[in-house]
Amino acid sequence: MNNFYNIIAYNRQGEVQSVESTYDSWQAVELCLALSEEFAYAEQINPWGKHCGEYGDRPVALGQRAY
């Protein structure tokens, strides 16, 4: 089982501001929350592109997430 997470932070215009990576699921949650507070929105994505979580208000420029 691969527990690798990319956390991508976006500003209100939907531009990438920061990308962090971790193998720890709890650290991924903490990073996602901290980055969303700093930049407006952050989401967790696994290596296969599966959405694993998010915090903040998703920018309109990113469109609706397809689950």
- pTM for the whole thing? 0.88
pLDDT of residue 46: 85
pLDDT of residue 67: 61
Residue whose entry in the numeric block shows the structure tokens 């527990």: 3
pLDDT band at residue 65 using 50, 70 and 90 as cut-offs: confident
Helix (H) or strand (E) segment spanning residue 52:
strand 51-56
pLDDT of residue 2: 62
Q: Give 19-62 pLDDT, tens digit per residue.
A: 999 999 899 999 999 999 999 999 999 888 888 899 999 999 99
Rg (CA), the chain: 11
* Burial class (CB within 10 angstroms; exposed 0-12, middle 13-18, buried 19+) of 1: exposed
